Amino acid sequence: MKQLRELADEQLVSLYQEGNNSAFDTLLKRYQQKVFSYLLYSVKNQELAEDLFQDVFMKMVVRIKSGQYAENGKFSSWMMRIVHNHLIDYYRTTPAALVISNDESEVDLFNNADIAVNENREKEMIDQQTLREVKELIALLPDPQREVLLMRVKDELSFKEIAEKTHCSINTALGRMRYAILNLRHMAYERGISLAS
Protein backbone atom coordinates (compact mmCIF):
# COMPACT_ATOMS: atom_id res chain seq x y z
CA MET A 1 0.00 0.00 0.00
CA LYS A 2 1.15 3.55 -0.74
CA GLN A 3 2.38 5.69 2.12
CA LEU A 4 -0.25 8.15 3.33
CA ARG A 5 1.58 11.23 2.03
CA GLU A 6 1.42 9.78 -1.51
CA LEU A 7 -2.38 9.44 -1.45
CA ALA A 8 -4.83 11.94 -2.94
CA ASP A 9 -6.86 14.15 -0.59
CA GLU A 10 -10.09 12.22 -1.24
CA GLN A 11 -8.39 8.91 -0.40
CA LEU A 12 -7.13 10.36 2.87
CA VAL A 13 -10.63 11.61 3.73
CA SER A 14 -12.07 8.15 3.09
CA LEU A 15 -9.42 6.52 5.29
CA TYR A 16 -10.11 9.04 8.05
CA GLN A 17 -13.85 8.33 7.83
CA GLU A 18 -12.98 4.65 8.31
CA GLY A 19 -11.08 5.47 11.50
CA ASN A 20 -7.50 6.07 10.33
CA ASN A 21 -6.52 9.18 12.33
CA SER A 22 -3.11 9.33 10.67
CA ALA A 23 -4.87 10.09 7.38
CA PHE A 24 -6.24 13.33 8.83
CA ASP A 25 -2.81 14.17 10.28
CA THR A 26 -1.45 13.88 6.75
CA LEU A 27 -4.14 16.24 5.41
CA LEU A 28 -3.38 18.66 8.24
CA LYS A 29 0.34 18.68 7.42
CA ARG A 30 -0.44 19.09 3.74
CA TYR A 31 -2.59 22.20 4.21
CA GLN A 32 -1.67 23.77 7.56
CA GLN A 33 0.71 26.34 6.05
CA LYS A 34 -1.81 27.48 3.41
CA VAL A 35 -4.66 27.76 5.92
CA PHE A 36 -2.62 29.46 8.64
CA SER A 37 -1.09 31.95 6.18
CA TYR A 38 -4.56 32.89 4.91
CA LEU A 39 -5.88 33.36 8.47
CA LEU A 40 -2.85 35.38 9.56
CA TYR A 41 -3.10 37.60 6.47
CA SER A 42 -6.79 38.17 7.22
CA VAL A 43 -6.66 38.95 10.97
CA LYS A 44 -3.08 40.30 11.26
CA ASN A 45 -2.70 38.69 14.71
CA GLN A 46 -0.62 35.56 15.37
CA GLU A 47 -2.47 34.39 18.50
CA LEU A 48 -5.91 34.98 16.99
CA ALA A 49 -4.86 33.22 13.78
CA GLU A 50 -3.76 30.20 15.84
CA ASP A 51 -7.12 30.09 17.65
CA LEU A 52 -9.06 30.37 14.39
CA PHE A 53 -6.82 27.69 12.86
CA GLN A 54 -7.72 25.24 15.66
CA ASP A 55 -11.43 26.06 15.28
CA VAL A 56 -11.33 25.51 11.53
CA PHE A 57 -9.71 22.09 11.75
CA MET A 58 -12.14 21.05 14.50
CA LYS A 59 -14.99 21.99 12.15
CA MET A 60 -13.42 19.88 9.42
CA VAL A 61 -13.08 16.90 11.75
CA VAL A 62 -16.73 17.17 12.80
CA ARG A 63 -17.98 17.56 9.22
CA ILE A 64 -15.91 14.72 7.81
CA LYS A 65 -16.85 12.38 10.67
CA SER A 66 -20.54 13.23 10.32
CA GLY A 67 -20.45 12.50 6.58
CA GLN A 68 -20.88 16.12 5.48
CA TYR A 69 -17.95 15.89 3.06
CA ALA A 70 -18.93 14.52 -0.34
CA GLU A 71 -16.52 14.00 -3.23
CA ASN A 72 -18.20 16.57 -5.44
CA GLY A 73 -15.14 18.74 -5.89
CA LYS A 74 -11.61 19.32 -4.73
CA PHE A 75 -10.97 18.84 -1.01
CA SER A 76 -8.85 22.02 -0.92
CA SER A 77 -11.77 24.11 -2.25
CA TRP A 78 -14.12 22.59 0.32
CA MET A 79 -11.59 23.26 3.07
CA MET A 80 -10.98 26.89 2.04
CA ARG A 81 -14.74 27.53 1.99
CA ILE A 82 -14.86 26.40 5.64
CA VAL A 83 -11.90 28.67 6.47
CA HIS A 84 -13.48 31.60 4.65
CA ASN A 85 -16.92 31.08 6.24
CA HIS A 86 -15.35 30.77 9.69
CA LEU A 87 -13.62 34.12 9.20
CA ILE A 88 -16.91 35.70 8.12
CA ASP A 89 -18.59 34.27 11.24
CA TYR A 90 -15.76 35.63 13.38
CA TYR A 91 -16.12 39.17 12.01
CA ARG A 92 -19.91 38.98 12.25
CA THR A 93 -19.97 37.85 15.89
CA THR A 94 -16.98 39.80 17.24
CA PRO A 95 -17.70 43.51 16.95
CA ALA A 96 -14.71 44.25 19.21
CA ALA A 97 -12.47 43.02 16.41
CA LEU A 98 -13.58 46.02 14.36
CA VAL A 99 -13.10 48.66 17.07
CA ILE A 100 -10.12 51.00 16.84
CA SER A 101 -9.28 53.13 19.87
CA ASN A 102 -8.48 56.76 19.18
CA ASP A 103 -7.43 57.48 22.78
CA GLU A 104 -3.81 56.32 22.62
CA SER A 105 -2.89 57.81 19.26
CA GLU A 106 -1.84 61.30 18.30
CA VAL A 107 -3.06 60.61 14.78
CA ASP A 108 -6.78 61.08 14.25
CA LEU A 109 -7.68 57.63 12.95
CA PHE A 110 -11.21 58.64 12.05
CA ASN A 111 -9.97 61.22 9.57
CA ASN A 112 -7.44 58.88 7.95
CA ALA A 113 -9.06 56.92 5.13
CA ASP A 114 -6.10 54.52 4.96
CA ILE A 115 -6.53 53.32 8.55
CA ALA A 116 -10.27 53.74 9.09
CA VAL A 117 -12.31 50.56 9.58
CA ASN A 118 -13.56 49.21 6.30
CA GLU A 119 -17.30 48.75 6.64
CA ASN A 120 -17.26 46.44 3.66
CA ARG A 121 -14.60 44.09 5.09
CA GLU A 122 -16.82 41.04 4.73
CA LYS A 123 -17.61 41.80 1.09
CA GLU A 124 -13.95 42.56 0.42
CA MET A 125 -12.90 39.17 1.84
CA ILE A 126 -15.52 37.37 -0.25
CA ASP A 127 -14.43 39.27 -3.37
CA GLN A 128 -10.74 38.44 -2.76
CA GLN A 129 -11.51 34.74 -2.27
CA THR A 130 -13.76 34.65 -5.35
CA LEU A 131 -11.10 36.43 -7.43
CA ARG A 132 -8.49 33.83 -6.40
CA GLU A 133 -10.89 31.01 -7.26
CA VAL A 134 -11.78 32.55 -10.64
CA LYS A 135 -8.07 32.97 -11.50
CA GLU A 136 -7.58 29.26 -10.72
CA LEU A 137 -10.51 28.39 -13.02
CA ILE A 138 -9.20 30.61 -15.84
CA ALA A 139 -5.86 28.78 -15.63
CA LEU A 140 -7.72 25.52 -16.36
CA LEU A 141 -9.26 26.78 -19.62
CA PRO A 142 -7.86 25.57 -22.95
CA ASP A 143 -5.16 27.98 -24.19
CA PRO A 144 -7.17 29.57 -27.08
CA GLN A 145 -10.16 30.26 -24.79
CA ARG A 146 -7.99 31.64 -21.98
CA GLU A 147 -6.11 33.86 -24.43
CA VAL A 148 -9.30 35.42 -25.87
CA LEU A 149 -10.87 35.84 -22.42
CA LEU A 150 -7.83 37.66 -21.02
CA MET A 151 -7.49 39.87 -24.11
CA ARG A 152 -11.16 40.84 -23.86
CA VAL A 153 -11.42 41.31 -20.06
CA LYS A 154 -7.92 42.30 -18.97
CA ASP A 155 -6.63 44.11 -22.07
CA GLU A 156 -10.12 45.39 -23.08
CA LEU A 157 -9.53 44.60 -26.75
CA SER A 158 -12.37 44.49 -29.26
CA PHE A 159 -13.15 41.17 -30.95
CA LYS A 160 -11.75 42.62 -34.18
CA GLU A 161 -8.44 43.37 -32.43
CA ILE A 162 -8.44 39.93 -30.79
CA ALA A 163 -9.03 38.29 -34.18
CA GLU A 164 -6.09 40.21 -35.68
CA LYS A 165 -3.75 39.37 -32.79
CA THR A 166 -4.67 35.66 -32.74
CA HIS A 167 -4.80 35.33 -36.55
CA CYS A 168 -8.36 34.01 -36.61
CA SER A 169 -11.76 35.24 -37.75
CA ILE A 170 -13.98 37.42 -35.57
CA ASN A 171 -16.50 34.54 -35.40
CA THR A 172 -13.78 32.21 -34.10
CA ALA A 173 -12.79 34.76 -31.44
CA LEU A 174 -16.45 35.17 -30.43
CA GLY A 175 -16.87 31.38 -30.28
CA ARG A 176 -13.79 30.97 -28.07
CA MET A 177 -15.08 33.67 -25.72
CA ARG A 178 -18.49 32.01 -25.55
CA TYR A 179 -16.98 28.61 -24.74
CA ALA A 180 -14.61 30.17 -22.20
CA ILE A 181 -17.59 31.66 -20.33
CA LEU A 182 -19.59 28.42 -20.55
CA ASN A 183 -16.62 26.41 -19.27
CA LEU A 184 -16.00 28.87 -16.42
CA ARG A 185 -19.64 28.66 -15.34
CA HIS A 186 -19.57 24.87 -15.50
CA MET A 187 -16.33 24.58 -13.48
CA ALA A 188 -17.55 27.15 -10.94
CA TYR A 189 -20.82 25.24 -10.50
CA GLU A 190 -18.94 21.97 -9.97
CA ARG A 191 -16.77 23.59 -7.28
CA GLY A 192 -19.57 25.49 -5.57
CA ILE A 193 -18.14 28.90 -6.51
CA SER A 194 -20.61 31.73 -7.04
CA LEU A 195 -19.75 33.96 -9.98
CA ALA A 196 -22.70 36.28 -9.34
CA SER A 197 -21.80 39.63 -7.87
* pTM value > 0.85: no
Please state the length of the chain: 197
Q: How far apart are CA 156 and CA 153, in angstroms?
A: 5
CATH class, 121-197 region: mainly alpha
Q: How far apart are CA 2 and CA 19, in angstroms?
A: 17
User: Residue ranges per domain, the chain?
Assistant: 1-117, 121-197
pLDDT digit string, tens, across residues 14-62: 888 888 888 888 988 999 998 888 888 888 888 888 888 888 888 888 8
- Full DSSP string of 23-92: HHHHHHHHHHHHHHHHHHHHH--HHHHHHHHHHHHHHHHHHHHTT---SSS-HHHHHHHHHHHHHHHHHH
Q: What is the CATH number of domain 1-117?
A: 1.10.1740.10
pLDDT digit string, tens, across residues 123-153: 566 666 667 777 888 888 888 888 988 888 8
